Every structure is written in C-alpha cells, then in structure tokens.
Structure 1
Amino acid sequence: MNISEIQQKLSSKTLIFPHIPKTAGTTLRSVILSQYSQEKVHFLKVSQTPLEAAQKISESDNKRVHCYVGHMPYGLHKYLAKPAIYITLIREPVDRIISMYYFIREEPAHRLHNEFLSKDISLEDFVLSRNCPRNEQVKKIAGSMVGSAKETMDLAYQNICNHFLAVGTQENFDDFLQVLQKILGWKNKSYTKQKVTKNRKNKREVSQELIDIIKERNGMDIAFYNNLKNKFTIKNFDYIVSRTTSKLIKNEW
C-alpha cells in the first residue's frame, strides 16, 4: 500500500484529538482548522468522560464532522457513526506542570486565576495542592483509572497501540507536524504558536527538591513520555507507514 492509498483510506476515518492541557494542543488545533473546512471540525467543551463529550454531539454533527477536538479522555470513538483514529500531543511532565502554573497566573479566563492572584499561590503551593494534576497524561489516554497504576498504564499503551495514528511531543512539535502532513496528506502551511506562557521560570531555575516532588507524583507520566517521545517521529516514518498499512489491511482502522 503506497502513501497516497494510505492517505485516501485515512481520509474516510473520523479524526479525534484529545487535547491534554499545556502540550501545544491549542497550536495543533489551529493547524487542524487550516487543513479542514470549518464545518468539518467540531470543538467540544471540557468533558470528564467520553460519554459526556458524546452527549454534546448532535445527530447532524455525527454525520457531518470529520475531526473532533477537545479536552476529553480517550473513548469518544465508541459513540461515533464512522470508524475513528486518534492523534495527540504529550509533554515532558515536570516542564508541563511548571508551565501550567505560570499559565494559570497569566490567563484571566482560567478557573483558578483569581484564586492564584488573591492568595499569591506559589509554584510550590500549587505542586503540593489538590489542583495540581498527577499523571494526567496517562489517565487521559487510558480513558479512566481502571484499578492499579500498572493497569492504568497498560490500558493507555493498549489504546495507543489499537487506536492512535501517532503521538507527538510539545518539544518536537514541528517533527510531529511533518509526520501528520505525510501520513494524512496535510498541506505544509505556516502556523503561529498559541497560548505560549511568556513569564515563567525555566526548569533549571526550580529547586531540585520541588522537581523531585513533581517527579514522584507523576511517575507514570514520566515513564509514558520517555517511552513514546521518539516513537512517532519523522525518523521513524517507515515504521509509522508499516504500522498504519497493517492496521488498514486488517480492517482494524
């Protein structure tokens, strides 16, 4: 199966992008909008479960929409009319938490913004609080906590294997974009980075003690990120093509 045949077959699939916060997802959203007509892309409001996300989709949307984007966990495909494939972005977990803290301080629309400013919440306060996510990236791709940490991690890997066309990283966004352009037949268009946190500490400026706490509380995310960060790169494009071809021939996608 050559690349044009792959692109043609993939074009008949619904594309789902579960946007994990602070992973360059807003930039990817803008790229997606530049590739498809606006009526083909549906942005879903924040959803805690796949069913909650599906309940926001009308019957006409289900027939018309080609790509769904939103802050939601894996699993939306179970409620859609057409077969679907997933893409997503992940990020080095310690840097993601640091970026999230400074983003909340900068973004007036964030639900925690006013509290952060009125109480002068520090990075350490945030990391130690219940508002700081723990292993959020693994949980979003697993779709839910299913028991032990190992079971959740195994489910996340299983979902990647079974339903994800590719997983990119915030750190190598351009590389991931090249992969999507080649495998999906996207046009090579310029883009502007969105929601970049400007006034933030570099990871090197944060105490090792605090970094160790973030690592200890996000151990699954760290292992997950390290395992996947080089898997779906342009250097491995032959593997991506081979894997995709196999899935399509077996009608798994």
Structure 2
Amino acid sequence: MILRNLPFAQWVLILILVIVIVYLRQRLNNLEESYRSLHDAVARIDARYNNGHAEARRGIEDDLEDVVVIYNRVPKTASTSFMGLVYDLCKQNKYHVLHINVTNNMHTLTFANQVQFANNISNWNNIKPAFYHGHMAFLNFGKFGTKRMPLYINLLRKPLDRFISYYYFLRYGDNFRPHIIRKKHGDTKTFDECINSGQPDCDPNNMWLQIPFLCGHDPACWEIGNSWALEEAKRNLQRYYFLVGVTEELNEFVEVLENVLPRIFRGAYNFFLHNNKSHLRQTTQKLNPLPETVDIIQQSVVWKMENEFYNFALEHFHAVKRRLINASPQDVNQRFMYEKIRPK
C-alpha cells in the first residue's frame, strides 16, 4: 500500500536504483570472471616458467656431469702440489682423474694422435666428469669437429724462478721422490757457475716453455723466440682457457676454482689450506742466483718474451680474482634473469 501511494518521481528513483544495483552486480560478476581468467593465466605462465627453470637447472646439472677439465701442466710450476689436491678430492666429489702419459715425455702429439685424443676425450662418456692432466701442449678441440670444448686450466710461474728450480731439480731431485737419481746427478755446478762458463744447461733459450705450452701444437709455437707464438699463447689464454693462475698465488687459484667450478673443486680451498700436501714437491737443494746472473738472463730475448707472457697471465688472473675474491658490493649482489620469453 505504501509503494502504491508513492509519487511518480520516487517510483522513477527506485527504478533507477534497481537498474544500478543490477548493473553493478553484473560488473562484479564480470570482474570475478576476469580475475579467475587472469589467475589461471598467471598460473599457467608460472608453471611454464617453473618447468623451464627446472629444465634449465636439469640441463646445467647434466652439463656439469658431462664436464671435462684438462690441466696441461707446465713442469716446475707447483703442478704436483695442485694435483695432490685434485686426487684427494676425486672420491668425495665423484669425478675421475686421468694422467696423460705421452711416449718419451713428448709435449706434442702426432697429427693422428691429436685426432684420436680429441675424439676419445669427447666421447668417453662413462668416465665423465673427468679431470685429465699431463705435460702436454694445448690442443684446440674445435679444429677436429668435436661438439664440446674441454675446460682448460693451467698454472704459470715467474720464468727465471721456474728455470732455476728445474736446473737444480735435474741435479738434486726433490722431496716427493727423493730416491730417484736425476739425469744430472753428481753435477754440483751452481746456476751462477753454469752461466759464467756458458754451459748449455743454463742457456736462456731453455726457458722457452710456458709460451709453447699455451700456444699449442703448431710447429711455430716451438720455434724459440717466435713472436707469433707469444701472441697465439695470449689469444689461447683469453679464448680457450677456463682459468690460468700463477704459482706465486696458488691458494687464490684454488679459491677461485672452488667458487666457479664447485662440481670438481667443492671443499678444495679449506682442504688445501689445512692439509700437509699444499707444497708436495720441493727441490732438495736450490740456490738463489747472484744479481749479476739475473742481469745476464734478463738481457735475453726469450726471458723478455716469457716474462711478458707471465705478466699478461698475471694481470688476467688478477682481473678475475678482483671480481670474485675481492668483489665490490655491486659484483657480490649481481644476479641475472630471463624475461619477455616468447612465444608464450
């Protein structure tokens, strides 16, 4: 009865209110439906991202299980001490270690053996992950059509220090295998006396070793004083070597390796610092050269080239170390992610 007696204007107002309520309810239903659709779309994208992330993670893990490291170790650069660490870690970190033993201690392979070596290491899957080591020149696997390059690492040493250490090693051996009679056993001439008498054992040309080891198998690499070989060794270090450290900073070399390749070197740094094998091989008797002897050596072309290469490697290693061990807050907090992935 009350509604029936309402003026016409109020009837119109009520009708408008009803229409507004119906409209708002319809809009709310549409918004709820849109929200559900958006939620489902986000859920699908999230699921796709998580699946892709999981696949990427599995891919990375599979790659790490397939990793091959080659350490073509230069003689008298603390390589035995470093390899003691690698052998100690292989069981707990579940990888294989293999020594490359070339006939007559040759540093280069014949071309046929280069092909076989590259294919053998690339395809020997049941031994992976693997760590190979030996006194052998760098070999570029890419030229043989292999699908994946191994991770090359190496250690270099100040060329005169390495040369003198090797000179006395050939005469007195070391504390690693003290009972082995070396080929210069009984020769008691000091390095200074050798230089003064012009003996071939201390000819500065004999320092030509670290450059050819990283230069590779090209015959020009082993031509003493070849300037192309020096530049090629630098190029290889930059392009193909995962990491090249220096003997004088062996601890930091191990620390960097653990940070960037934990699949092989997990726990290496702490183990290296606190076990008794950090300096596994030391030359039994070694005398520092006189200043005048050092001056003679440093006048030679080979020392200048080898020293240039050593300093190049040292600078490169320091650049890596600065951004990892001595990292700035910006580097420490650096992350990367993938966005705008298409198609959806």
Greater relative contact order (Cα < 8 A, sep 6+):
1
1:120 paired with 2:160, answer no
Gaps of 5+ in 1: 242-253
Q: Which residue of 286, 290, 295 corresponds with 1:207?
A: 290
Assess if the C-alpha contact under 8 Å between 1:14 and 1:82 holds in 2. no
Name the CA shift for 1:81/1:42 in 2 (closer, same or farther; >3 Å): farther
Assess if the C-alpha contact under 8 Å between 2:215 and 2:236 holds in 1. yes
Deviations for 1:131-173, whole angstroms, at most 9, x for unmatched residues? 4422211111101452662200111011111110111111100
Q: Which residue of 2 aligns with 1:236?
A: 323
CA shift, 1:62, in A, is 3.5
More deviation, 119-128/167-176: 119-128
Quick one: distance in 2 between partners of 1:11 and 1:124? 50
Q: Which residue of 1 aligns with 2:76?
A: 22
1:43 paired with 2:99, answer yes
Quick one: distance in 2 between partners of 1:54 and 1:14? 17
CA shift, 1:71, in A, is 0.7
| Identical-residue share of aligned pairs (%) | 22
Deviations for 1:51-96, whole angstroms, at most 9, x for unmatched residues? 4577689959943251110011111646778531100000111111
1:68 paired with 2:155, answer no
Name the CA shift for 1:75/1:109 in 2 (closer, same or farther; >3 Å): farther
Amino acid at match of 1:69: H
Q: Name the SS of the counterpart of 2:309 in structure 1.
A: helix
Quick one: distance in 1 between partners of 2:60 and 2:257? 10
TM-score by length of 2: 0.58
Gaps of 5+ in 2: 1-56, 174-178, 332-344
Q: Which residue of 100, 103, 128 corresponds with 2:169?
A: 103
Quick one: distance in 1 between partners of 2:284 and 2:81? 15
Quick one: distance in 1 between partners of 2:189 and 2:64? 46
Amino acid at match of 2:170: I
Quick one: distance in 1 between partners of 2:140 and 2:181? 25
CA shift, 1:197, in A, is 2.0
Q: Which residue of 162, 167, 174 corresponds with 2:251?
A: 174
Assess if the C-alpha contact under 8 Å between 2:171 and 2:188 holds in 1. no
Quick one: distance in 1 between partners of 2:243 and 2:169? 27
Name the CA shift for 1:177/1:5 in 2 (closer, same or farther; >3 Å): farther
Quick one: distance in 2 between partners of 1:226 and 1:18? 19
Assess if the C-alpha contact under 8 Å between 1:44 and 1:53 holds in 2. no
Q: Name the SS of the counterpart of 1:96 in structure 2.
A: helix
- Which entry has the higher C-alpha Rg, 1 or 2? 2
Assess if the C-alpha contact under 8 Å between 2:172 and 2:182 holds in 1. no
Assess if the C-alpha contact under 8 Å between 1:20 and 1:71 holds in 2. yes
Q: Which residue of 240, 244, 266 corresponds with 1:187?
A: 266
1:12 paired with 2:66, answer yes
Aligned-residue Cα RMSD (Å) equals 3.4
Aligned length: 231
Quick one: distance in 2 between partners of 1:168 and 1:224? 12
Could you say which structure has the higher helix fraction?
Answer: 2
Amino acid at match of 1:222: N
More deviation, 178-187/96-105: 96-105
Q: Which residue of 87, 92, 103 corresponds with 2:158?
A: 92
1:224 paired with 2:309, answer yes
Assess if the C-alpha contact under 8 Å between 1:17 and 1:68 holds in 2. yes
Quick one: distance in 1 between partners of 2:297 and 2:164? 9
Q: Name the SS of the counterpart of 1:139 in structure 2.
A: helix
